[in-house]
Amino acid sequence: MNDTHQVAYVDGNGHAWELFWPGVAPVAGRDLTAESGAPVQAIGTPAAYYRAITNSRHVIFRSADGRLHELEREPGMPTHYLDLTSQYGLPPAADDPAASVVEGSAFQHVAFRGTNGHIYEVIW
């Protein structure tokens, strides 16, 4: 919305981090795992997207047990943690998720390959 760029990554301790900066401003970082109190460690490469309709930034990651998790951040609000696997009854993920939002739509999409080799998509 304000030309903010976002990069998400997982550090060596399993914490999901977000780097962000508006325009050409200096880069700022935030440990989303610590801020949210997420009870799990992330592995692999997280997926990240911005949702204009709510002015929120989202990071989707996988934990070692194959569960998918979301960290959501809205301006002025604390970082929110959600276990997507529990929330939507998802099967275990075999590898990193992909995620997106279609602008103008109210829906968010996460796609992943299950441990059974099938491709899944959860939309909410």
Q: What was the pLDDT predicted at 106?
A: 83
Q: Work out the number of other CB atoms within 10 angstroms of the CB of residue 60.
A: 28
Where in the sequence is the domain holding 105, given as residue range(s)? Answer: 4-123
Q: What was the pLDDT predicted at 52?
A: 85
Query: Could you tell me which residues come within 8 angstroms of residue 48 by beta carbon, excluding any fewer than 6 positions away?
Result: 6, 7, 8, 18, 57, 58, 59, 60, 99
Q: Work out the number of other CB atoms within 10 angstroms of the CB of residue 41.
A: 15
How much is the pTM? 0.92
| Ranges in the chain, pLDDT < 70 | 1-2
Q: How far apart are CA 23 and CA 110, in angstroms?
A: 27
Domain count, the chain: 1
Q: What was the pLDDT predicted at 117?
A: 98
Q: What was the pLDDT predicted at 103?
A: 79
Q: What was the pLDDT predicted at 102?
A: 87
Q: What CATH number has the domain bearing residue 48?
A: 2.120.10.70
pLDDT in tens, 99-124: 999 878 889 999 999 999 999 999 99
Q: What was the pLDDT predicted at 2?
A: 62
